[in-house]
Structure 1
Amino acid sequence: MLVQAITFVLRPTATYQAIALDVPAAWLGVLAASFAVVPLVLAAPAGQIIDRLGERRLLIAGPALLTLATAAFVLLGDAIAGLTAATMLLGTGHLCSVVGQQALVANATEPGRYDTAFGYYTFAASLGQALGPGLIVFFGGDQTVPHTRAIFLGTLAVSVPLLLIAVFLRSSGQHGRQSGTGSGGFRELLARPGLIRALTVSCIVLAAIDVTLVYLPALGAERDIAAGTIGILLTVRAVASMISRLFLGRLTAAFGRHRLLVGTVAVSAAGLLLMLIPMPLWLMAVLVVAAGLGLGAGQPLTMSFLAESAPPGMRGRAMSLRLTGNRLGQVVIPSAAGVLAAGAGATGVLAITAAGLAGAAVAAGGLHESQGEDQ
């Protein structure tokens, strides 16, 4: 929860700080992509470390890097280069934290309960995502651009207890149980039917969350919507994701994983697309809820698929493989979005993102057949 709270307040605040520095719209895409550059390289080695040595090392390293990142925002946030460097550090700390956490959940959960376990885990993440933007409301939410330095300092205060809590986490004891090490392990995972489709869906859904987090504030600035209102909308989106994740086990039992994945991704695409039409704020909030419900289910469902596909001792690599694909999407898609924003603005970026989600729904539709082959 604390990892996500820190991340989800720092990222939109970095966008507002860049706007205050009069950074061109294309640079917002670069700023968003910088979050994923270093993790893109480190994700695979992180999974190997977990499978060989256990989760605890990364569970401590992640919060330590997040604390350093918050300090970097405070000290270096007055220039775009400093914002970019701090965002890269933030992305690295976030990567170490989540790959360790996801592997711990996968290794500590009994087979058949992955949807419920990852639903609860991602519920906690969504709770942090809902609480984080609240700092934007607290520090100058009535302004188009809030007091960013105060938000950076407040987040630094939150990162200290996060680091203290992380020290008490322990490994699952599942490491070192599989002989498939090195690149062969990754080849074996990629060869499993349906896995590449699941990675693709996960990548697009996470990139959509990422782009929304960066460009919803930009859309608000274009439409002269107060920063506090945008912060509330981001919180509403996260709360909607919390609801879908809290009841994910029951929803999967009722509708099946395949139908639920296709339906929720399609709903999020429709909600995001309709949001681009000028409308009253209450109707925009309704569409944000729809998008949040859909986006919330996609990540834990793909985590469940990977956890079931990977044998014990290789789940760290399975989760790191998923995060590598996610980070690749976070580098490529926001960078392309930044180029698009130079001509089409935030509205054009969000429209393309909605189209990408529609494509992800189509890809998820073929996941069922691939799983059937594996079974």
Structure 2
Amino acid sequence: MSTPADGGRTGPGRRMLWLLLAHSALTQVVTFVLRPTSAYRALELDVPTAWLGALTASFAVVPLLLAVPSGQATDRFGERRVMLVGAVLLALSAVVFATERGGAAGLVLGSVVLGTGHLLSVVGQQAAVANTAGPGRFDTAFGHYTFAASLGQAIGPALITLVGGSGALPDTRPIFLTATGLGVVLLACTVVLRIPGRARYGGAAEAGGMGTLLRLPGLVRALVISCVVLAAVDITLVYLPALGADRGLAAGVVGLLLTLRAVASMASRFFLGRLVAWVGRRRLMIVSVALSAVSMAAVAAPLPPAALAVLVVLLGLGLGVGQPLTMSWLAEVAPAGLRGRAMSLRLTGNRLGQVLIPSTVGLVAAGVGAAGVLWATAAALGVVGFAARRLAVDGGPGT
């Protein structure tokens, strides 16, 4: 897969690359517009607290059950077809929200459709990157792919204010209509996307299926690293504001800290290929997770805002590396014809981690406040960083 850094001289071509990156960014924009706006709509309707919980969970629960089958469908029918279904569902979810029918149940239905469409789009995208990246280019390809996704996640919430106004509760209908339009653009992008044809893989790949993947040396360790790093990002988004409230920091200062973390993660992803070439994949994995652990532990200490800003940048640099590195490792070690399933397996682990790890850390750190949660998360990062020492990530299977 060519990249902006090499001018698109290799792989399937610059046009496919930019369309795939645009598809990634648009998927996240639509998702990160609709999820918060659906919550605002629920508040407008005064839905019970139980329904708010169902609205949050419905985005993840059904896709969690469909993650592995979606990977199997990607390997069998091709990335573009799965991405096309995902784009249709994302646009349809915006339509469901825009109709404003069904009350709380309608919002939950829209969230289920949104989560399923997001899953299919992401699995197809990741498999496409894995199957089209040239030899030795997985790190750069996945670095740019995750950079585009992060960019979309940053643009989405900004559109809510731009379209819906800056009030405590934005006008949700124009936001939903805008998301519908973006869904149509995403669908058009998918239609014109041409992923180079590939041979259908049979034999051992088809016969072994998930069992072949689960027997790969280091697979479980890599999945655990991925889910802990992603859960650490989620915990930061929730508990850094809580820490700021405990320390009397203004909301604007906390917002700036979260922005710095996100921008730092985007920077580390954009230059991932060069970082791997410089220090090696395994060493970068260990250093990035260790940096995340130390920075998160230090952030929880009582420090002035300027010191917090420096630490949050270091935290973002470390947390930004884990996801694309595990993607590139999986793409390299997974047999041809099983890469869709490999990516779906990683997504399944991530979803479980997002559900289980924050709640577990919260129980362990109960009674010690936001700082205790951050320290417990730092300890979890330290454990997986130690485990990364035995992960063979600098070569193919068995290295």
Q: Which has the higher contact order (CA 8 A, sep 6+)?
A: 1
SS of residue matched to 2:192 = coil
Select the residue among 296, 315, 318 that pairs with 1:294. Answer: 318
Partner of 1:188 in structure 2? 212
Residue-pair matches, total: 373
Partner of 2:384 in structure 1? 360
Select the residue among 92, 101, 123 that pairs with 2:147. Answer: 123
Q: Which amino acid aligns with 1:115?
A: D
- TM-fit CA distance, 1:356: 2.7
Partner of 2:287 in structure 1? 263
Q: Which amino acid aligns with 2:141?
A: A
Select the residue among 62, 70, 82 that pairs with 1:46. Answer: 70
Partner of 1:200 in structure 2? 224
- TM-fit CA distance, 1:183: 7.3
User: Is the 8 Å Cα contact of residues 11 and 87 (structure 1) preserved in structure 2?
Assistant: yes
- TM-fit CA distance, 1:345: 6.6
User: Is the 8 Å Cα contact of residues 237 and 291 (structure 1) preserved in structure 2?
Assistant: yes
1:1-375 matches, cutoff 5 A: 1-12=25-36, 32-74=56-98, 84-136=108-160, 138=162, 145=168, 147=170, 149=172, 151-174=175-198, 176-180=200-204, 184-213=208-237, 233-277=257-301, 282-334=306-358, 336=360, 349-368=373-392, 374-375=398-399
| Pair 1:62–1:261, CA change in 2 (3 A) | same
User: Is the 8 Å Cα contact of residues 71 and 340 (structure 2) preserved in structure 1?
Assistant: yes
- TM-fit CA distance, 1:236: 3.3
- TM-fit CA distance, 1:301: 0.7
User: Is the 8 Å Cα contact of residues 51 and 174 (structure 1) preserved in structure 2?
Assistant: no
Q: Which amino acid aligns with 1:128?
A: G
User: Is the 8 Å Cα contact of residues 89 and 114 (structure 2) preserved in structure 1?
Assistant: yes
Which has the larger displacement, 253-262 or 263-272?
263-272
- Whole-Å separation in 1 of the counterparts to 2:335 and 2:43: 47
Q: Which amino acid aligns with 2:59?
A: F
What CA deviation, in whole Å up to 9, does each residue of 1:320-363 have, x standing for no partner? 12112112222323555787899777665545433332322122
Q: Which amino acid aligns with 1:302?
A: T
User: Is the 8 Å Cα contact of residues 133 and 234 (structure 1) preserved in structure 2?
Assistant: no
User: Is the 8 Å Cα contact of residues 203 and 326 (structure 1) preserved in structure 2?
Assistant: yes
- TM-fit CA distance, 1:219: 6.2
- Whole-Å separation in 1 of the counterparts to 2:190 and 2:100: 26
| Pair 1:182–1:132, CA change in 2 (3 A) | same
What CA deviation, in whole Å up to 9, does each residue of 1:163-218 have, x standing for no partner? 22111123442352232456732111111111111111111122223344455566
Which has the larger displacement, 332-341 or 308-317?
332-341
- TM-fit CA distance, 1:232: 5.1
SS of residue matched to 1:112 = coil
- Whole-Å separation in 1 of the counterparts to 2:271 and 2:327: 16
Partner of 2:7 in structure 1? none
Percent identical among aligned pairs is 57
- Whole-Å separation in 2 of the counterparts to 1:249 and 1:288: 23
- TM-fit CA distance, 1:260: 0.7
Larger Rg: 2
Q: Which runs of 5+ in 1 are unaligned?
A: none
SS of residue matched to 1:87 = helix
- Whole-Å separation in 1 of the counterparts to 2:361 and 2:43: 16
Q: Which runs of 5+ in 2 are unaligned?
A: 1-24
- TM-fit CA distance, 1:40: 1.5
- TM-fit CA distance, 1:268: 2.2
| Pair 1:306–1:138, CA change in 2 (3 A) | same
User: Is the 8 Å Cα contact of residues 265 and 320 (structure 2) preserved in structure 1?
Assistant: yes
| Pair 1:63–1:110, CA change in 2 (3 A) | same
- Whole-Å separation in 1 of the counterparts to 2:260 and 2:179: 20
| Pair 1:359–1:12, CA change in 2 (3 A) | farther
Which has the larger displacement, 107-116 or 223-232?
223-232
- TM-fit CA distance, 1:294: 1.3
| Pair 1:98–1:130, CA change in 2 (3 A) | same
Which has the larger displacement, 317-326 or 274-283?
274-283
- Whole-Å separation in 2 of the counterparts to 1:34 and 1:351: 30
SS of residue matched to 1:167 = helix
- Whole-Å separation in 2 of the counterparts to 1:204 and 1:89: 27
User: Is the 8 Å Cα contact of residues 271 and 287 (structure 1) preserved in structure 2?
Assistant: yes
What CA deviation, in whole Å up to 9, does each residue of 1:13-47 have, x standing for no partner? 556677886976x9987765443211211111111
What CA deviation, in whole Å up to 9, does each residue of 1:58-90 have, x standing for no partner? 111222222233344455699766555443333
Q: Which amino acid aligns with 1:310?
A: A
